[in-house]
Chains A and B, each alone.
Chain A
Amino acid sequence: MRFACLATALTVWILSLGAATAFEIEGERHYPAPEGAVTLRIISTADINVFEPIILEFQRQNPGVGIDYVIASSTELMRAIYEEQEPFDLAISSAMDLQTKLANDGFALAYSSFATEALPDWAKWRNQIFAFTQEPAVLVISEADFAGMEPPKTREELISLLRENPDRFAGRIGTYDVRISGAGYLFATQDSRNSDSYWRLTEVMGRLHARLYGGSGDMIRDVASGRLALAYNVVGSYAMSRLPDYPGIRIILFEDYVNVMLRTVLVPVNAPHPSEAGLMVDSLATLDSRPALTERTSLPPVKASGLQENSAARPIRLGPGLLVFLDRLKKQSFLQNWTSSMEQFVR
């Protein structure tokens, strides 16, 4: 019954073009509460189908809270909170750097509860940003294209493989367009910090006319359809959730290092309902204790022990370091370097 009601509440971003807001949204869905007057407005970068089980579970426990779920890209989310100070109750984003900037520049409320105290230290900052998922950046390959070949285990092996087989991979490599994707930019900048091989890899990918994408979902779809042989820096959770639908793809975690992105939530400083927002933060922070729910969302929850299982995993550290790549000059020079490496043969 509820689904029927929700379906009618779904609106797309085209409808919102006429609205007064200047930031662009990609979708919006209302989950009205049967009783109670409080409606939490959530702005999020996560797809609705990923996040919906969490919302329904939350409403089962808090029947008095309605939810207004707005989907936007990480840059639009930043604009909504930072520049336009839209009264959202929660901001959920995978762009850790932008979330950090929001907190650093005083746009987040501090919140503390038993649930947030239980989070590991690397999963929160200033009691303002709380991570609730840990999502590795992975390489997704098409099994058909690697038939009879050993898939690369490190970035060096990937570089050699691409250099040695230019014909096979030309035009069939996918990666984020870091100029439009927040997550792509985050992965790319962390790559550049972690290893010198990143720029060589970018050069090689550019020489092979890599295709550039705005989101992980499209890359996975194209690998599965055979358009791409491999996609680099795909958000692991998306790939995992699609694995049953696309039998021909395979996920590879590199052995040299794996960037682990943390999806984070914060309560904006002008949130109309901060106490209800805190309930949602608690709900997200305790995701790990509800396996049935995480299975439905396919979001890998933050685990205190989760990072010891894989010694190559490097969680991206929350903190002022993330502000560096948001510096105007730094970003400008990074994007220049990236563009010149990636588009060296653009005619």
Chain B
Amino acid sequence: MRAMLGKGSIRRRLVVQLSLIAAVLSLAFFLIVRAVAGQAASDTQDNILAASATSIADAIYSERGRISLELPYSALSMLGSISQDRVFYRVIVDGETLTGYDDLPAPAHFPKPSEPVFSTLDFRGEEVRSVAVGRTVSSGGQAIRAAIVVAQTRSGLAAITSKISATSVAVGIGLFLFATLLSLLAAQSALLPLNRMTQSIKRRGPHDLRPVRTEIPGELLPLVAALNNFMARLRAALAQSEELVAEAAHRVRTPLAVVRTQAEVALRRLDKPEDRQALREMIRAVDESSRSAGQLLDHAMVTFRTDHLQETRFDLGEVTRETCAHLQPTAGLKDIALVLDIPERPLPFVGDPILLQSALRNILDNAIKYSPADSEITVTITVDRHYEISFRDQGRGFGDVNTGGLTKRFARGGNVADVVGSGLGLTIVDVVARAHKGRVKIRTNTEGPGACVSLVLPLH
């Protein structure tokens, strides 16, 4: 029983319990109907037996001091009208059998008038129901007691009872099956809101922490309220930490800019080559710091925007070109040529262009950073079963590191110790790609030096 109920499925619990109730009720129905119908059939036989015996009693008369009887035809024929049972009778006057079957057992006591005495007994090898009726007849001034016994076998009664039993078994089984079917449907419908809620939560994106607003039955309200409360707290905590990071980055960036300007001003005034070298080192470090702060801000922005993704239709090629143009000066500083191989025709895509720009900028920025001076970065867009925007550089590549781990926050390659970096760039790219149901492909070039980072996006 415990195994059947289980602890896993509410539906199975419900169905099993409701079916058990239905089985108990069907059994009760069967027993009650059989008992009532059996009693009714038995009462009917008793009533007819009593009527028969009474009509015989009424036909007893006294003539010239002798008790006699004119057995009424209906007394016995009425017993034959309901079943084909054997009939026996006996009339006893003053202890002597007046007529009928001598061996039919007489009642132990003289039955009171108007109070028939019923009994069930074996007679001539068969069970019979017998009734005894008493009557006082006056004969020659004397009151003489007469007892009338009428008995009938019970095979008709048994036939009726078994017929009723068979019918009530059939109806009971039918009731049980019907109730079980209904309980299945009831369990299904009772669990429907729960399923609906489960589905609506399942469908959510990884960062969707909005409260559940599905229509729910009262019983689930506390659960949903607790869930919503939990998610609200989680969201608040996340937002707080993101805000903290953004705020910190923002606050760091402005003084860094001031420091850089002052450092450049100082650079112009300094003449000693070793001082100038030291200041250049300082400016480079400040640049790196401000870049990291920018990436932290970028990351916060990306996280926020993917949570509230606003999709518009735009041209992927144009966005890529714009990004490349935007970073052209940075590349120029290192004499790096950006070679674009982008189809002229529009490449429509639905998503957040600002996020994509941010992702592309981060990839390209990385590529420039790790490329040697006077090299080439090739940007291609291929359209196959999906868009693939690739950035191929001639830098140092990723070495033998597991490239999958590079998209984790603050993870960096194994061969970059000499270059300052936050480890956030590829994380941002990855978040954006996932938000657009795409992915990031990172691999070291097999021919020649460098690496290739691609953003793979679905065609819409």
Contact = CB atoms under 8 A, between A and B. Distances in A.
Chain B binding surface, main DSSP class: mixed
B76 interface: yes
Contact of A321 (B77, B88, B125): B77
Most chain B Cβ neighbours within 10 Å, of A320, A321, A333: A320
B328 interface: no
Interface stretch (A221-229, A256-264, A295-303, A322-330): A322-330
Given A104-B86, A126-B84, A329-B99, A320 B77 contact: yes
Given A319-B77, A320-B76, A329 B70 contact: yes
Contact of A106 (B68, B69, B73, B124): B124
A323 B76 contact: yes
B98 interface: yes
Given A106-B86, A125-B84, A126-B84, A329 B79 contact: no
A164 to B, nearest CB: 33
A309 interface: no
Contacts of A329: 68-71, 98-99
12 contacts: A104-B86, A106-B86, A106-B124, A193-B73, A317-B80, A324-B76, A327-B69, A327-B100, A329-B70, A329-B71, A330-B71, A333-B70
B60 to A, nearest CB: 10
A245 B7 CA distance: 96
Contact of B124 (A105, A193, A320): A105
Nearest to A321: B77
Nearest to A189: B73
B412 to A, nearest CB: 99
B84 A321 contact: no
Interface in A64-118: 103-106
Interface string B88-130: 1000000000111000000000000000000000001110000
Interface of B: 68-77, 79-81, 84, 86-88, 98-100, 124-126
Given A319-B80, A330-B70, 13 more contacts: A125-B84, A126-B84, A126-B86, A323-B76, A324-B75, A324-B76, A325-B73, A328-B99, A329-B70, A329-B71, A330-B69, A330-B99, A333-B68
Contact of B77 (A103, A106, A324, A333): A324
A193 B74 CA distance: 10
A325 B72 CA distance: 9
B125 A320 contact: no
B70 A321 contact: no
Nearest to B101: A105
A126 B74 CA distance: 20
A193 B99 CA distance: 21
B153 to A, nearest CB: 9
B99 A320 contact: no
A104 B99 CA distance: 16
Contacts of B75: 324
Contact of B73 (A103, A104, A324, A333): A324
B103 to A, nearest CB: 11
A125 B83 CA distance: 10
A126 B152 CA distance: 13
Given A105-B124, A106-B125, A329-B68, A320 B73 contact: no
A320 B87 contact: yes
Interface of A: 103-106, 125-126, 193, 317, 319-321, 323-325, 327-330, 333
Contacts, number: 57
B100 A321 contact: no
A76 B73 CA distance: 25
Contacts of B71: 324, 327, 329-330
A321 B76 contact: yes
Contacts of A320: 76-77, 79-80, 86-87
Contacts of B74: 321
A103 B99 CA distance: 19
Contacts of A317: 77, 80
Contacts of B68: 329, 333
Contacts of A323: 76, 87
A328 B87 CA distance: 16
Nearest to B152: A320
Most B Cβ at <10 Å: residue of A104, A193, A328: A104
A73 B87 CA distance: 26
Contacts of A321: 73-74, 76-77, 80
A152 B288 CA distance: 142
B124 A324 contact: no
Contacts of A330: 69-71, 99
Contacts of B99: 327-330
Contacts of B73: 193, 321, 324-325
Nearest to A129: B84
B122 to A, nearest CB: 12
A125 B81 CA distance: 12
Contacts of B125: 106
Contacts of B70: 329-330, 333
B261 to A, nearest CB: 120
Please name the 5 residue pairs, one residue from A and one from B, whose CB atoms are nearest each other, closest first: A321-B77, A319-B80, A320-B87, A320-B76, A320-B80
A193 to B, nearest CB: 6
Nearest to B52: A320
B76 to A, nearest CB: 4
A329 B70 CA distance: 7
Contacts of A333: 68, 70
Nearest to B80: A319
Nearest to B81: A319
Contacts of B81: 319
Contacts of B76: 320-321, 323-324
A328 B79 CA distance: 20
B78 to A, nearest CB: 8
Contacts of A125: 84
A233 B46 CA distance: 39
Nearest to B72: A324
Nearest to A124: B84
Nearest to B75: A324
A195 to B, nearest CB: 13
Contacts of B80: 317, 319-321
A324 B88 CA distance: 11
Contacts of A103: 86
B92 to A, nearest CB: 13
A333 B84 CA distance: 28
A77 B99 CA distance: 23
A103 B87 CA distance: 10
A319 B70 CA distance: 19
A320 B79 CA distance: 7
Give the residue among A103, A323, A324 with the most B Cβ atoms within 10 A.
Answer: A323
Contacts of B87: 104, 320, 323
A330 B73 CA distance: 10
A330 B98 CA distance: 11
Contacts of B126: 106
B23 to A, nearest CB: 37
Contacts of A104: 86-88
Most buried by B among A106, A317, A319, A325: A319
